[in-house]
Amino acid sequence: MKLVFLVFLTVLLCGSCGQIDQENNPFKSDNMIIRISEIEIDPDYFTEYISILKEESEASVRLEQGVISIYPMFLKEKPTEIRILEIYADKMAYESHLQTPHFKHYKTTTFKMVKSLKLVDMESIDVETMPKIFKKLNNRERI
């Protein structure tokens, strides 16, 4: 239940941009692709995997306008159990992401490190709250 709540909260946090009013938000929630990647990493490769994942997620968010979130996390009790909240503006943004050099590098270099991978497609529940959450986070950064 805690994981479900965490996922819900994270989707709300990452689904929109607080600097844009909801009416002007170019990311329509009904077009978004929201996914949780559940990945188990071979413990022998953990440090190397984390380094590559951090590079890929940072580049995706920084370079790709249609990538709203690539937010990696791990289970506290099992650090080799990775969860990534992925939010894309639409299918085209997702398909474009798969063709980027940083994603291809991530996939090819981590292939041997991954013991299992499960992609779980999600739907947003409260898209109206998303812009408010980002605005609140943006205001906290200024304090």
Task: Tell me the pLDDT tens digit for each residue of 89-126.
Answer: 999 999 999 999 999 999 999 999 999 999 999 988 88
| Tokens 């943004």 belong to residue | 93
Answer with the residue of higher pLDDT: 65 or 130: 65
pLDDT value of position 119: 96
What residue ranges do the domains of the chain occupy? 2-142
Residue type, position 128, single letter: E
CATH of domain 2-142: 3.30.70.100
Query: Alpha-carbon distance 100 to 41, whole Å?
Result: 23
**Residue 24 confidence class, pLDDT cut points 50, 70, 90:** low
**Closest by Cα among 108, 109, 112, 106 to 84:** 106
The chain-wide mean pLDDT, for the chain, equals: 83
Residues in CB range of 65: below 8 A, 6 or more apart: 89, 93
Tally DSSP H helices, then E strands, for the chain.
5, 4
